[in-house]
Structure 1
Amino acid sequence: MSRASRARGGTGGAARPTPAPLSRGRRIAFTAVALLFPVILLLLVEGLLRLAWQGGAIPVFVERPERPSERIANPRLAARWFVAEAAPPAPQREGFAAAKPANGFRVFALGESSTAGFPYPRNATFSRYVAEVLRDVLPADSVEVVNLGIAATNSHAMADIIDDVIAQQPDAVLLYAGHNEYYGALGVGSTQSLPGGDAVVRTFLRLQRWRVFMAVRQGVGRMRGSPTSSIAADSATASLMEVMAGNRAIVHGDDAYRRGVAQFERNLAYVARRLQSAGVPLLIGSVESNLADQPPFAVAANDAPGGARAAFADARAALARGDSAAAHAGFVRARDLDVVRFRAPGEFNAVIQRVAQAHGATYVPVAETFARHSPAGIPGGTLFLEHVHPTAEGYALLAQAFVEPLLAHDVVRRRAPAMNRLRGWDTYADERWLTELDLQIAAHVVATLAQRWPFVAADRQRDYRGTYRPADLRDSLAFDASRGASWERAKLALAHDRLARGAAAEAAREYRGLVRDAPGFPEPRELLGAALLAAGDAAGADTAYRTANAIRPTAANAGALGEMAMNRRDAAAAARHFQQAAALAPGDAPLL
């Protein structure tokens, strides 16, 4: 091989040309394309998923199936926060107009199971009491009070949905929360938590706005197998409290305790800031629990010397000798030392006051109100069913605590300068129309809880639902409803039975509860009208049928109104009603 050939680097063939180096501009362009391609692909996939998978991001509000002009809280909403649960708790189905009326006055109530009215049916919620008061003092406005309380959730959930709430143009927001901060979904001590702490939770919640992330989440869930369904399987065994409690020994002042306090303050401040920026008044209630009659929960750590149980015993001794100040301090100490964190510690009320002051919110003295209405100023079994959920009287008191500062707020005052239409508190409490059936439903729910951990030691648990035998029809219907059967059907079945037995007034009371639950639907009012007629209350029946007929005119309603007019010798009114009936059902020979 010649030197020339070797110099050309070959064995005799032509030399390969050396590629020209890329210019700096082209290198930048190629790098940019390489980096942007996956981003563009991700955005393309996200766009396609948004078009094809409308509910993929679990929207906060959805169309009400039976009334497309209304919105309700998404029944699947809690799936955002329950990372390993097939059947998480659901919010109330309370409708509000998709397009807020010009004269609309809209309030949202945020919170946990106490906001949701647990363990009572929906009519016990403090938000419905507030709604009745507002409808009285704002007669010219279309009042909507929408309850967004969901059991076993905490401030993470409220911070997650607050922008969606603001988008619905509320005139005010009420917030009562704090008891679920440790064991509620994504809480520091919950079984439904994420590794990595608060920053990971906030990132997780933000990522759920993306359909791609939700698709990955569902895919991972399918690969791992079906999510647990311990909440749905609660009917005979574990309570929701048992299911949610992961860390069952959170000592006052330890790292988990401090992280819970910080989590509560950070999320509450975020909610308050967002509402303040939007110009929406926020009313935040202090939290209260059963101090006098709820012993520390059943774990060994509470029995340690100087622990929660010893403090509780000292408080009871102080109360017995008439030292209410020492008793109150002792009961508060017992609650705060209880390592099972199903009751908000006293420190949370200081957080609520700080946040309210820093962000222009209204502090609502719920705890102080409960104390004023309790023997020796110590809330106990007269106002609480168990550890944190109020009695029916307690829920009325919770409503009053919110109503008073709300009525004094400019957002109401500028619409209703005079409060002369306001009725007495007892009237509002009575017109919740809670019947013995409703109270028995709550009693069965509480009895089920009381025989499970943490109220009793794990080795002393009993299956209340598996052993209880109902005493009569009402008790049987209440027992079934406490296990998840339809409350509405229970009310209808009991009312039908009472009518058949000649107890029309009792039947009417059940129907009144259904009317209050669904005021915009005619059917409960029609049933109420018939029951009141049977009970001899012609004036009440006339009102019920008139309202039902205004909602949905029917020949039957108009005919009933005509007959009642005839009975009171009002021929002109009878003629109008019978003419309407004939127009609505021209071929109805019996009616004519």
Structure 2
Amino acid sequence: MKLSKMKKTNMKHNKSAPASRQRFIFYIIALFIPLLFFVVLEVGLRLVGFGQQVPLFIENPAHPSYQLPRPDVMSRYFPINAPTPSVTMEANFILKQKPKNGYRVIVQGGSTAAGFPYGLGASIAGTLDQRLKPSMPGRYVEVLNTAMSAINSYTLLDFADEIIAQQPDVVLIYAGHNEFLGILGVGSNYTAMGSGITTRWFLSLKDYRVFQLLQRVYFGLSSSDGSSSVAVNTDPKDILKDISTELQSGQQSRTFMAKVAKNKAIAKDSSIYYAGLEQFESNMSALLAKYSKAGIQVYISTIASNHADQAPFSSLPIESRFSNTTTALFDNTAGLNQQQRIQDLQSASSTLSSSTSADLHFKIAKLALQLQQVQIAKNHFALAVEHDQLRFRAPLAINEIIRKLAMQNSAVLVDSENQLAIRSPKGIVGSSMMLEHLHPNLQGYFVISNAFYQSMVENANIKPFANVSIERAWAERLMLAQEEYYGFATILNLLSDYPFTTQATTPSLPKPADWQQQAGQDFFLKKTSWLQMMQLSLNRYQSEDDQRMVAKTIQILADALPHNGLYNLQIAEIKFKQKRLNESLYYYQRAKLAGAIGIAIDGNIALIERALPNIH
């Protein structure tokens, strides 16, 4: 009987085993059917040409040996039928194949890193390119800008793998102001998802055509009409019809500031405040880890903003519990001598430091400056920025994160904020270095660039290295008065709208003082392009026999158009006559690559190569 029962049990087990395997296979097939569907759909969408892939780097259509960061790369984050922020990257070029003796530097960051409102000539990349070329005899130096207005740590991280593919020796980073209100920022109208995890998930999926199809359907259904559709060019020739138009993004930034801020009240210590800090720290930590793994040295800078001369954009009212203290400090001062007022200020400063009113802190700081109490002024200017609820300026915690990340990831810390403060009255960054809330003037930009340069001198271990003095670099900066006027007009335009005024107005431009300013105004008003302005200027300087300005203008044109053999040959010969051999060799090589013809090219190249190290 027992044997019979065992046989029956074994028979049941033998029958159930195949059934179990069949159910398992069925479940696997059921799970893979949706996946297979999406794979087939993805392949089909790609075959029919649906969707877009927007790489960071594209080939220069004027010369295939060069490539550049795609000016409209921001379109990679938006479906074709969605409204896209009108921010672009200024065209600048590197060789597609890095030379054996090449030294390649790539700059990342937002509008300050990009040189707004002046453009590449004032930027970190532009000024360092000019200074590093004569500093590194025998090296083919390329400094490339990938910075642009309104981007933050999400975009920097998204660019990282494509930047690594360019084999940079060094990456320079100046970023942090756009974490709250920049594109994909936590308080921005251009936010992809609700959290850092989901936003990074979005970035990882953005190139899949199925995801783009879902995006397009969503935006198509949510849009009331088709007026917001944006055509995305895929042909580099269309993207680069006129590289000078990319320099006009400053005027577009005016309207961008007016529409970017979704959350206009981000209080210190609020959940969204901490979300912005967490977003920055998480993304930048991942970014630095990528570069460390790739063996790329990173220089990351502290960031600065205008403390002394930019009032808070948005402030909470002064708390009622402080009314007696503020009245005594600001109103009941009749009959008090300066020493008594200083004593009252010192006492009130301690009491009022806990206030959340940005306007109050700014008012205290201004009074402290009047009374020569510099440390109190510094403290309350900083608190005014901390409690400014419209977060177009980064809070102090961003620099604390930058310092911590530099230490944790063996990155070189560049303290640009401190360098700007050292050169500012009373050690407080204000209008002597800044144009408005955070963009430097030409002197401020040069201070930041010099901070990076000196850090590279101390840490890059580049041999041989010929130090270019700060005086020489400033005297030879590649910036014309025309471009300075354009920057001045752009800032007037910026200041005529939100958040600097409650009602948008049309700025009144002062009458140009000379033909150079007139050319800059014509460029600003879009009566002429940047290239036309520069060619006009070159002709005028030549007619005036101003050889210094002729050489500067030719060099600017040669750097903007590396595929132009004439400009590169002309500046190569100028540098050769000046016995600046390393720079001369660089431009001779570009001229030759561009097809320039000159009987002295090969001979001069050979002569320079024998004189310089690191050629082979």
Q: TM-score higher than 0.5 here?
A: yes
Name the CA distance, whole Å, in 2 between partners of 1:176 and 1:303: 34
2:520 pairs with one of 478, 494, 506: 478
1:107 and 1:172 in contact (8 A); partners too: yes
Structure 2 CA distance, aligned partners of 1:343 and 1:194?
21
Q: Which residue of 1 aligns with 2:130?
A: 132
The aligned residue for residue 515 of structure 1 is: 558
Cα offsets for 1:220-279 (capped at 9, x unmatched)? 4445334378x9999699522112111111112212211111111111111111222222
Matches within 5 A, 1:76-91: 76-81=72-77, 84-91=82-89
- Cα 1:483–1:148 change in 2 (3 A) is farther
Alignment of 1:259-338 (within 5 A): 259-297=275-313, 299=314, 301=316, 306=355, 307-338=357-388
C-alpha distance 404-549 of structure 1, shift in aligned 2 (>3 A): closer
TM-score, with length taken from structure 2:
0.77
Judge conservation of contact 1:236–1:463 (CA < 8 Å) in 2. Answer: no
Contact 2:87 2:252 in 1 (8 A): no
Q: Structure 2 vs 1, CA of residues 554 and 22 (structure 1 numbering), >3 Å: closer, same or farther?
A: closer
- Matched position secondary structure for 1:115: helix
Which residue in 1 is equivalent to 2:40?
Answer: 44
Show the counterpart of 1:204. Answer: 202
**Separation in 1 of the partners of 2:506 and 2:318?**
25
- Cα distance change, pair 216–54 in 1 and its aligned pair in 2 (3 A): closer
* Deviation digits for residues 165-201 of structure 1 (CA, Å, limit 9, x no counterpart): 2222221211110111111001111111135222221
Looking at structure 2, the residues matched to 499 and 40 of structure 1 have their Cα atoms a distance apart, in angstroms, of: 67
Which deviates further from its counterpart, 111-120 or 167-176? Answer: 167-176
Task: Tell whether 2:382 aligns with 1:366.
Answer: no
Change (3 A) 1:403 1:499: closer
Alpha carbons of structure 1 residues 378 and 241: separation in structure 2 relative to 1, 3 Å: same
Q: Describe the shift of the 1:308–1:504 C-alpha distance in structure 2 as closer, same or farther (beyond 3 A).
A: same
- 1:251 matched residue in structure 2: 267
Residue 151 of structure 1 aligns to which amino acid in structure 2? S
| Pick aligned residue for 1:447 from 492, 498, 518 | 492
Structure 2 equivalent of residue 6 of structure 1: none
Alpha-carbon shift at residue 206 of structure 1 (Å): 1.1
Partner of 1:154: 152
Secondary structure, counterpart of 1:239 in structure 2: helix
CA RMSD of aligned residues (A): 3.5
Which residue is equivalent to 1:392? 442
Distance 2:105 2:251 in 1: 34
Give the 3 Å change call, closer, same or farther, for CA 153–539 of structure 1 in structure 2. closer
- The one of 25, 28, 35 equivalent to 1:32 is 28
State the distance in 2 between where 1:548 and 1:25 align.
Answer: 68
Q: Is the Cα contact below 8 Å between 1:109 and 1:174 reproduced in 2?
A: yes
- For 2:294, the aligned partner's letter is A
| Mapped partners of 2:517, 2:319: distance in 1 | 41
Kept in 1: contact 2:66–2:95 (CA 8 A): yes
Residue equivalent to 1:8: none
Structure 1 residue ranges without an equivalent (≥5): 1-20, 563-571, 574-592
Greater Cα shift, 521-530 or 106-115: 521-530
Q: Distance in 2 between matches of 1:145 and 1:96?
A: 8
1:44 positional shift: 3.0
Unaligned runs of 5+ in 2: 1-16, 231-245, 321-354, 605-616
**Residue 166 of structure 1 is aligned with which of 160, 164, 167?**
164
Call closer, same or farther: CA 1:73–1:471 in 2, change over 3 Å: same
Amino acid of the residue matched to residue 452 of structure 1? D
Match of 2:474? 429
**Whole-angstrom distance in 2 between the partners of 1:236 and 1:44:** 41
What's the CA shift for 1:287? 0.8
Residue type of the partner of 1:341?
R
Amino acid at match of 1:345: P
* Structure 1 Cα separation of the partners of residues 99 and 588 of structure 2: 24
CA contact (8 A) 1:72 1:93 kept: yes
Cα offset for 1:137? 3.2
Aligned to 1:240: 256
> In the alignment, what sits opposite 1:565?
none
Query: 2: CA distance between counterparts of 1:519 and 1:356?
Result: 35
**In 1: Cα distance, 2:520 partner to 2:276 partner:** 37
In 2 relative to 1, CA 316–470 (structure 1 residues): closer, same or farther, beyond 3 Å?
same
Residue 11 of structure 1: aligned partner: none
Deviation digits for residues 452-478 of structure 1 (CA, Å, limit 9, x no counterpart): 12112x13x31127x777666543432
Which of 535, 546, 553 is 1:492 aligned to? 535
CA distance in 2, matches of 1:514, 1:278: 34
The DSSP-based 3-state class of the residue aligned with 1:322 is coil
Offset at residue 346 of structure 1 (A) = 0.9
**Structure number with bigger Rg:** 1
In the TM superposition, what is the alpha-carbon distance from 1:56 to its structure 2 partner? 1.9
Structure 1 residue aligned with 2:115, among 117, 134, 146?
117
2:505 aligned partner, one-letter code = R
1:48-70, Cα deviation, whole Å (9 max, x unpaired): 54566498232222222222222
Query: Is the contact made by 1:86 and 1:226 (CA closer than 8 Å) also made in structure 2?
Result: no
State the Cα distance separating 1:507 from its structure 2 match.
5.0
CA apart distance, 1:509:
4.0
Letter in structure 1 aligned against 2:473: Y
Question: Higher relative CO (CA 8 A, sep ≥ 6), structure 1 or 2?
Answer: 2
